[in-house]
């Protein structure tokens, strides 16, 4: 089944204020779609709604042909949609390896995972989870940090850790909120390469919110420009980034 994501007339309000209204967009499978726009345009709210952190007040959201609008986060995650937050949200008191392993623990046992890992069968499963986790930790270049606490990592390294966790969990659609914000140019390049490889090499689908227009121009197949809660313009990257109205509203040019 195709993992296209389609939003039809989606809206969200807080009180009498509509943060999003009439949003109609698609995120095609196996491609990178970028959501851009000025601060307050509703981009992060849109990711909250897709991932289940917020319920839409109107409209429909379909993923792979299934209506997911209003479902809780854990159910949406189990359908294959993973989320990276702008503030990363790693488990600071766990090691890098443990951060990734936790995401691999079977869902029914997550509340009692330490007790579950006390059984012989579980110890073997743990070894398998650790091997899988290390493969993705190495993939993002954190193998030398695998036994460090996550809170001891730099912000850029924490972003790499969050990507490793998403990759290990085998989500088919990644929602990335400002994946390159607040990191060095060298780290921007590394994160950009990892995102591109996930799509071109493994067929993942990515929807990202990003302010770095160099990254957007480098990665995005399709761009939706949001302004004041509505989609003001959509199209291929050259079409959107070269549009005079977009440049005036967003870039001040």
Q: Which residues pair with 175 in a beta bridge?
A: 83, 207
Domain range summary for the chain, segments of one domain joined by +: 5-89+172-182+203-251
What interhelical angle do 155-168 and 185-200 show, nearest 10? 10
User: Which tokens belong to 253?
Assistant: 């040019």
Residue 107's pLDDT is 61
* Tokens 């140019």, residue located: 185
Q: CA dihedral in degrees (149, 155, 159, 161; nearest 10)?
A: -10
Q: Note the pTM of the prediction, 2 decimals.
A: 0.90
Rounded-to-integer distance, Cα 191 and Cα 139, Å: 11
Q: Which class is 5-89+172-182+203-251 in CATH?
A: alpha beta
Residue 2's pLDDT is 64
Rounded-to-integer distance, Cα 181 and Cα 2, Å: 30
What is the Rg, in whole angstroms, of the alpha carbon atoms belonging to the chain?
19
Pairing of β 81-84 and β 66-67: unpaired
Residue 184's pLDDT is 95
Sign of torsion over alpha carbons 46, 49, 53, 57: positive
Residue 1's pLDDT is 45
Report how far apart, in Å, the C-alpha atoms of 196 and of each of 43, 83, 99, 184 are: 21, 17, 23, 18
As a whole number of angstroms, the longest Cα–Cα distance in the chain is 64
* Tokens 């930790």, residue located: 137
| Average pLDDT, 10 consecutive residues per value, the chain (253 residues) | 85 94 95 93 94 95 92 94 92 95 72 57 80 96 96 96 95 96 96 97 96 92 93 86 76 55
CB 114 within 8 A of CB 59: no
Cα-based angle 163, 90, 41 (whole degrees, multiple of 5): 75
What interhelical angle do 155-168 and 120-139 show, nearest 10? 130
């Amino acid at each position: 089944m195709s993992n296209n994501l389609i939003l039809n007339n989606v809206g969200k309000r807080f009180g009498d204020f509509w943060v999003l209204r009439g949003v109609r967009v698609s995120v095609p499978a196996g491609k990178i779609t970028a959501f851009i726009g000025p601060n307050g345009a509703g981009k992060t709210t849109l990711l909250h709604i897709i991932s289940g952190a917020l319920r839409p007040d109107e409209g429909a959201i379909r993923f792979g042909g299934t209506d997911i609008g209003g479902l809780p986060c854990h159910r949406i995650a189990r359908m294959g949609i993973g989320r990276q937050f702008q503030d990363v949200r790693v488990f600071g008191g766990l090691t890098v390896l443990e951060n990734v392993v936790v995401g691999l623990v079977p869902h029914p046992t997550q509340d009692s995972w330490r007790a579950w890992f006390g059984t012989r069968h579980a110890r073997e499963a743990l070894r398998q989870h650790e091997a899988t986790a290390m493969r993705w930790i190495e993939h993002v270049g954190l193998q030398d940090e695998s036994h460090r606490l996550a809170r001891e990592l730099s912000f850029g390294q924490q972003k790499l850790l969050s990507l490793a966790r998403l990759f290990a969990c085998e989500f088919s659609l990644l929602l990335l909120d400002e994946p390159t914000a607040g990191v060095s140019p060298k780290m921007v390049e590394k994160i950009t390469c990892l995102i591109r490889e996930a799509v071109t090499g493994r067929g993942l689908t990515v929807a990202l919110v990003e302010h770095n227009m160099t990254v957007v121009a480098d990665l995005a197949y399709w761009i939706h420009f949001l302004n004041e809660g509505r989609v003001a313009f959509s199209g291929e990257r050259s079409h959107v980034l070269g549009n005079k109205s977009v440049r005036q509203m967003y870039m001040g040019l």
